[in-house]
Amino acid sequence: MSEIYKNKKKALVRGSGDLATGVGVALYRAGFQVIMTDIAVPLTVRREVAMSRAVYEGRAKVEGIEGILVRSYQEALAVLEENKIAVIVDPKAEICKEFHPDLLVDAILAKKNMGTRRTDAPYVIGLGPGFTAGKDVHAVIETMRGETLADIIYDGQPIPNTGVPGYVGGYALERLIRASGNGRMEPKAQIGDIVKKGQLLAVTGGKPVYSQLDGVIRGMLQEGVQVKKGLKIGDVDPRKDRKLCYLISDKANKIGSSVVRATEARLADKDYAMILLAAGKSSRYGSNKLLEELDGGRMFEHTLRKMRAFPLCTQVAVTRFEEIERAAEAQGMLVVENWEPDLGISHSLRLGLQKALEENPELKGAMFIVCDQPGLTAATFARMLDIGKKYPGKIVCAGRKGKMGNPVLWDRCFFDELSRLSGDKGGKQIIGAHMDDVLLCETEETELRDVDIPEQLTKWERDYGESGKSGKSGEET
């Protein structure tokens, strides 16, 4: 076995239809070993650009990349060593237990979760509706056509399924070819054929199916499969460009690119720490504000949930509260107890950094996060980490219009200074001495607002709580 083969990252893609193939091909081109799973009778319309064709024919080639049908993990290994994609009939993705992928992508597009869990791989991504980032997967990719197509969602859900396809060439529903009856599929036109409105395209269950517009057949189910009335069996492209029938779609390419971008960024998170500072006295508030109910959960729980999007970071919680300690440990975080809050935030900062370095002495950076900014999004955490990786030797602060705030990501070169801090000013002492090294990560004003008194909590929930939200809080824009 070659060293190059052994050192490649591994990806398992559930599904091998056209969008799943766009993802699989993008990962393959990015240097991943790729195994794709499917059901025994795939109903892929765009067969010419789908690895699912291998289930019927033994092999499939899409844009020069070959997928080979295998029956076992051992056969899959042989195919991977030949630098090809392995395709296996494995509806529950049981091969994951032997393959141990770095990444699992659920690209079944069933509009519901068919069994994928956040613990299935170090990093898990779901495509489209049916997944919640931070709950059953680490991230979700938006699949709805439009301005948000292929957005990376680190916290929350994508746009719900509307049942209406996106517009191509000015047409939406008219593009679809649907079965007119239950029974055997008998195509009367083939992929690549130019057809006219009203032309007979197929017979399903003995009933004819006609085209609703002029165009080219971009997709059509194969002959002999059993279909149900109303099932999508084909696709007419009004642009009449035959070459598009044999190329991965712009939509699949865009989604595949987002999967690669998110995965490569997050797999590199192993060099960074996220340290939650949650041991403060809440002096101005009058009671422990971190345990206050807010928008369907306690304040600290919102921050913990958003940190789930970064499973490969070394995660540490510095606290003296049993409730926070239990929740953090249940999430797999390291916990440091701070029973001396009077020593100031610098004491929590030093404790957290020390614990993170004990776990990973080779850390390249550490992000310090406070618990009383409920508007912070996981997307901001992601952008800060990505800026830090791109510009080593810098301090990355969340902020807006020149005003710096929290969280703050520190490069390793500042660790010695951080470890010598004292008092309640925290890292501000160091930032003041290194202004030329500070980079601002622009955030929404909502994200920077902290809660110091009960009136601020009431106002925050009124203005920005669940009922007042607009858009997806975890979306990368």
Q: Which amino acid is at 327?
A: A
Q: What is the pLDDT of residues 343-397, one digit of tens each?
A: 888 899 999 999 999 999 999 999 999 988 888 999 999 999 999 999 999 999 9
Burial string for 96-120 (b: 16+ CB within 10 Å, else e) reads beebebbbbbbbbbeeebeebebeb
Averaged pLDDT, 404-417: 96
Averaged pLDDT, 51-60: 97
- Judge whether residue 470 has pLDDT over 70: no
pLDDT value, residue 468: 36
Three-class secondary structure of residue 120 per DSSP: coil
- Judge whether residue 283 has pLDDT over 60: no
Residue 414 CA to residue 431 CA, distance in Å, equals 10
Band of pLDDT at residue 476, cut at 50, 70 and 90: very low
Band of pLDDT at residue 285, cut at 50, 70 and 90: low
Averaged pLDDT, 182-200: 96
Three-class secondary structure of residue 217 per DSSP: strand
Q: How far apart are the first and last CA of the chain?
A: 42
**Residue that the structure tokens 């509706």 belong to:** 129
Higher-confidence residue of 97 and 374: namely 97
**Residue that the structure tokens 């209406």 belong to:** 164
Q: What is the pLDDT of residues 224-264, one digit of tens each?
A: 999 999 999 999 999 999 999 999 999 999 999 999 999 99
Tokens of 291: 């345990």
Residue 127 CA to residue 111 CA, distance in Å, equals 9
Mean pLDDT estimate for the chain: 91
Residue 293 CA to residue 208 CA, distance in Å, equals 59
- Domains of the chain, earliest start first: 3-164 (3.40.50), 173-238 (2.40.50.100), 264-468 (3.90.550.10)
Share of the chain above pLDDT 70, in %: 92
Averaged pLDDT, 174-197: 95
Averaged pLDDT, 28-39: 98
